[in-house]
């Protein structure tokens, strides 16, 4: 997922004697996301005497969780995973079942956040971004992204089939609501790859979430797909990067507990705190990812809301990432993409 730089380990002594020996390892994608989680979740949890927390950064490697669970040597307690990994890992028995009675009222959460093996922790979006200092006319659609005559220059895209095939169909005139219907057909997949081939000579691939803003600032690309939180982080550093929200693809990240965690009680307490309205509102102030607990939205001002993927203006033409579709067809499409990219 999204935000992936340097390894971060944080250890602060727990306050309450009852938890004096209690330790918790929380794993996330680092970067601005990791920093926001530290401020909104980890520090308040430690202050409350919940446990001493070690934060570990990873790149979404489900294989690491699987190896721990199979060896019965689980050292990670709470892990942030992307939606396809939540579904797959749940099916494979890699995660503990979520005890929602200890987390919160399901009715308070976005529907997509409620899962038998996980709790949605934030909504993020893959969007189109550009440098407002370098591009005076704003691109407004994915057709603009593909239009190298009107907007000459390179395009940054994540190296993989996910998101790119959806964007290609939108660029080719498919309505947001029909994208997965079309992509599910043989002709639709063909159409998406054909559209990608049109843009291929102008694509500069990225593989880590930190790269798109770097590409923009360096002038390597005129526009790029990007995780909205990465663009938000660059804006907070004073960069004039802009987002075009039309046709953005939003998704959720989830908290899970690897099967056999020795610290399940503390893990549940941490997830409960991180799912509370106050903590989620604090998180959204530190990075522009949308809360999953709807009660958090009432605690945010208009400026913060305006930068979230979940705000009415930003979500009106958004596409929810098709977890089911990619679970069914993802492997074949990613293989096809790799072969196509290598040509």
| 107 and 164 inside one domain | no
State yes or no: pLDDT of 35 exceeds 70.
yes
Does 1 reside within a domain?
A: no
Alpha helices (runs of H) in the chain, residue ranges in sequence order: 31-37, 43-47, 62-71, 83-91, 100-103, 142-146, 164-171, 179-183, 186-199, 211-218, 228-236, 264-274, 277-286, 302-305, 312-315, 323-342
Q: What is the pTM of this model?
A: 0.81
- Is residue 155 a part of any domain in this protein? yes
- How far apart CA 196 and CA 140 sit, in angstroms, is 19
| Contact call for residues 300 and 127 (beta carbons, < 8 A) | no
Neighbour tally for 245: CB within 10 Å:
19
Say how many C-beta atoms besides its own lie within 10 A of residue 219's C-beta: 12
Among 17-21, 35-39, 65-69, 142-146, the range scoring the smallest mean pLDDT is 17-21
- Examine the domain organization and report whether 52 and 161 are in the same domain: no
Can you give the pLDDT at residue 334? Answer: 94
Answer whether residue 12 is part of any domain.
no
**For the segment 112-130, what is each residue's pLDDT rounded down to a tens digit?**
999 999 999 999 999 999 9
Q: Is 305 exposed, middle or buried (0-12, 13-18, 19+ CB in 10 A)?
A: middle
Same domain, 300 and 239: no
Whether residues 69 and 99 fall in one domain: yes
Residues 112, 25 share a domain: yes
- Verify that 326 and 232 share a domain, yes or no: yes
Report pLDDT for 2: 54
Q: Find out whether 258 and 92 touch, Cβ atoms under 8 Å.
A: no
What residue numbers bound the domain in which 103 lies? 17-123+252-315
How far is residue 50's CA from residue 230's CA, in Å, rounded to a whole number? 30
Judgement on whether residues 101 and 145 belong to the same structural domain of the protein: no
Structure-token pair, residue 131: 């440098």
Residue 86 domain flag: yes
In a domain, 337, yes or no: yes
Cβ-Cβ contacts under 8 Å for 245 (sequence gap 6 or more): 125, 127, 309, 313, 314, 315, 317, 318
326 and 246 in one domain? yes
Question: Per DSSP, what are the bridge partners of residue 243?
Answer: 129
Which tokens hold the place of 9? Answer: 């380990």
CATH code for position 99: 3.40.190.10
Residue 17: predicted pLDDT? 42
Question: Could you tell me if 310 and 324 lie in one domain?
Answer: no
Are residues 213 and 330 both part of a single domain?
yes
- Phi, psi of 99, rounded to the nearest 5 degrees: -90, 90
47-61, 97-111, 136-150: which has the minimum mean pLDDT?
A: 47-61
Q: What was the pLDDT predicted at 225?
A: 98
Q: Which helix (H) or strand (E) holds 2?
A: none
Band (46; pLDDT cuts 50, 70, 90): very high
How far is the C-alpha of 75 from the C-alpha of 64, rounded, in Å? Answer: 11
Residue 11 within a domain = no
In a domain, 5, yes or no: no
Structure tokens at 70: 């199979």
Least confident of 68-77, 87-96, 163-172, 311-320: 311-320
- pLDDT tens digits, 283-328: 999 999 999 999 999 999 999 998 899 888 898 899 999 988 998 8
pLDDT at 44: 97
Is 272 found in the same domain as 323? no
Residue 187's contacts (CB-CB under 8 Å, 6 or more residues apart) are none
Number of domains present in the structure of the chain: 2
* pLDDT at res. 1: 52
Residue 26 included in any domain = yes
Domain identity same for 201 and 330: yes
Which residue(s) pair with 256 in the sheet?
Answer: 79
């Amino acid at each position: 997922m999204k935000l992936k730089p340097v390894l971060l380990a944080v250890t602060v002594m727990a306050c309450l004697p009852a938890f004096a020996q209690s330790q918790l390892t929380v794993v996330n994608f680092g970067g601005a996301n990791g920093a926001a989680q530290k401020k909104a979740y980890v520090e308040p949890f430690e202050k409350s005497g919940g446990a001493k927390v070690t934060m570990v950064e990873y790149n979404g490697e489900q294989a690491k969780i699987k190896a721990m669970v199979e060896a019965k040597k689980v050292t990670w307690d709470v892990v942030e995973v992307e939606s396809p990994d939540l579904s797959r890992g749940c099916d494979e028995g890699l995660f503990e079942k979520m005890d929602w009675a200890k987390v919160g009222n399901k009715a308070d959460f976005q529907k997509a956040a409620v899962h038998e093996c996980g709790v949605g922790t934030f909504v993020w979006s893959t969007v189109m971004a550009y440098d407002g200092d370098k591009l005076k006319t704003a691109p407004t659609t994915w057709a603009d992204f593909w239009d190298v005559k009107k907007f000459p220059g390179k395009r940054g895209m994540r190296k993989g089939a996910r998101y790119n095939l959806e964007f290609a169909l939108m660029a080719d005139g498919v309505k947001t609501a029909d994208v997965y219907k079309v992509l599910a057909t043989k002709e639709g997949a063909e159409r998406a790859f054909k559209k990608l081939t049109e843009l291929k000579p102008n694509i500069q691939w990225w593989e880590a979430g930190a790269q798109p803003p770097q590409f923009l600032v360096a002038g390597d690309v005129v526009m790029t797909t990007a995780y909205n939180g990465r663009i938000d982080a660059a804006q907070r550093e004073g960069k004039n990067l802009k987002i075009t929200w039309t046709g953005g693809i939003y998704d959720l990240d989830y908290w899970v507990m690897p099967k056999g965690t020795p610290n399940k009680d503390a893990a549940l307490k941490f997830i409960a705190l991180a799912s509370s309205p106050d903590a989620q509102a604090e998180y959204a102030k530190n990075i522009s990812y949308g809360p999953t607990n709807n009660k958090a939205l009432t605690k945010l001002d208009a400026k913060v809301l305006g930068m979230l993927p979940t705000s009415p203006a930003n979500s009106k033409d958004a596409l929810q990432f098709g977890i089911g579709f990619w679970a069914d067809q993802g492997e074949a499409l990613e293989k096809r993409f790799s072969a196509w990219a290598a040509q």
